[in-house]
Amino acid sequence: MKARSDELQVFVSVIECGSISAAAEQGGQTPSAISRTLSRLESKLGTTLINRTTRRMDLTEEGRFFFERAKSILEQMDDLEDHLSRHQQTPSGRLRINAALPFMQHAIVPWVGEFRALYPQIELELNACDLIIDLLEQSTDVAIRIGELADSTLHARSLGCSPLNLLASPAYLERHGTPTRVEDLAGHSLLGFSQTDTLNHWPLRHVDGDRLLIRPAITSSSGETVRALALAGEGIACLSHFMTHDDIRNGQLKVVLDDFNSGYRQPINAVYYRNSQLALRIQCFLDFMQRKLAMYAC
């Protein structure tokens, strides 16, 4: 059996206090408990550390050797705990974030300067990928996922949600007209996604429900490509507000069929492996993004 840190602490305390009774009083224990701890420590080490009588205590040669090193070990442990405590109180270290390119470009990058000003000791590593990654394999602390989450062993925290809008450029609408009914979409060029049909269910109220499965004229695996196609006047797209709010504000894209929008919002979640005590750098980032995403939310 090996000595424990609490046993080292008792031994050092007895020597520094000068007696078992004084060490017991300082540590809030009984003298008999202190004496048993010393005996247990000596038994584990297989040697006598203190020659003690009713009148006095003397360290043995082995005891002097053990005292100096035990005291050094305890001081190093205190230093380590102090360092860790300071580290936890000051967000620092490398933070690896993964997100799809549109979210990275439109919802994270614009706020990087402000985040770094708040937390200068956090080193950001931003990785954009439209595919769902393995967090452990990619050494990722947190990934941002847009849309409904599948069953997963990962833990998730909601950061907010973002409306979906039907959008087209003014040039496209001038050439092809502005649809005024859901049925009018049949006569338009629609821009959609190639990877999953769920992204081609548009939030539109119609006779059969509040989601309309469209047949795109052009598809892409990338939301940023679909946005670029809409800006280029190639058709009508359904895109999240977090990536198009600037386009709408400056008039490059127009919202169409807003009266028929069913109001569906895309969930935005952060996923990570740790669930209990998140590293402070991760917690700070999630809190920061939740505040920023409120402007795109419901």
Digit-coded pLDDT (tens) for 138-196: 568 888 988 887 756 668 889 999 999 999 999 999 999 999 999 999 999 999 999 77
User: Taking the domains of the chain in order of start, what are their residue ranges?
Assistant: 5-89, 93-161+267-296, 162-265
- DSSP result, the chain: ----HHHHHHHHHHHHHSSHHHHHHHHT--HHHHHHHHHHHHHHHTS--EEE-SS-EEE-HHHHHHHHHHHHHHHHHHHHHHHHHHHHHS--EEEEEEE-HHHIIIIIGGGHHHHHHH-TTEEEEEEE-SS---TTTTT-SEEEEESPPPS-SSEEEEEEEEEEEEEE-HHHHHHH----SGGGGGGS-EEEESS-GGGGEE-B-BTTBS-EE---SEEES-HHHHHHHHHTTS-EEEEEHHHHHHHHHTTSSEE-SGGGB---EEEEEEEES--SS--HHHHHHHHHHHHHHGGG--
> What is the reported pLDDT for 296?
66
Average pLDDT, the chain: 86
The superfamily CATH assigns to domain 93-161+267-296 is Periplasmic binding protein-like II (3.40.190.10)
Q: Retrieve residue 73's tokens.
A: 């070990």
Residue 45: φ, ψ to 5°: -80, -20
The superfamily CATH assigns to domain 162-265 is Periplasmic binding protein-like II (3.40.190.10)
Top pLDDT among 241 and 275 is at 241
pLDDT in tens, 112-125: 999 999 999 999 99
pTM for this predicted structure: 0.67
Whether 248 contacts 296, CB under 8 Å = no
Q: Retrieve residue 186's tokens.
A: 């049949």
Cα–Cα dist 195/71, whole Å:
63
Residue pointed to by tokens 């009018």: 184
Top pLDDT among 173 and 30 is at 173
Would 5-89 and 162-265 be classified into the same CATH topology?
Answer: no
pLDDT band with cut points at 50, 70 and 90 for residue 88: low
CATH architecture label of 5-89: Orthogonal Bundle (1.10)
pLDDT band with cut points at 50, 70 and 90 for residue 1: low
Residue pointed to by tokens 């005291």: 71
pLDDT in tens, 226-251: 999 999 999 999 999 999 999 999 99
Nearest to residue 159, comparing CAs of 16, 26, 246, 285? Answer: 285
Q: Retrieve residue 290's tokens.
A: 């939740």
> What is the reported pLDDT for 82?
58
pLDDT band with cut points at 50, 70 and 90 for residue 136: very low
Nearest to residue 103, comparing CAs of 127, 136, 76? Answer: 127
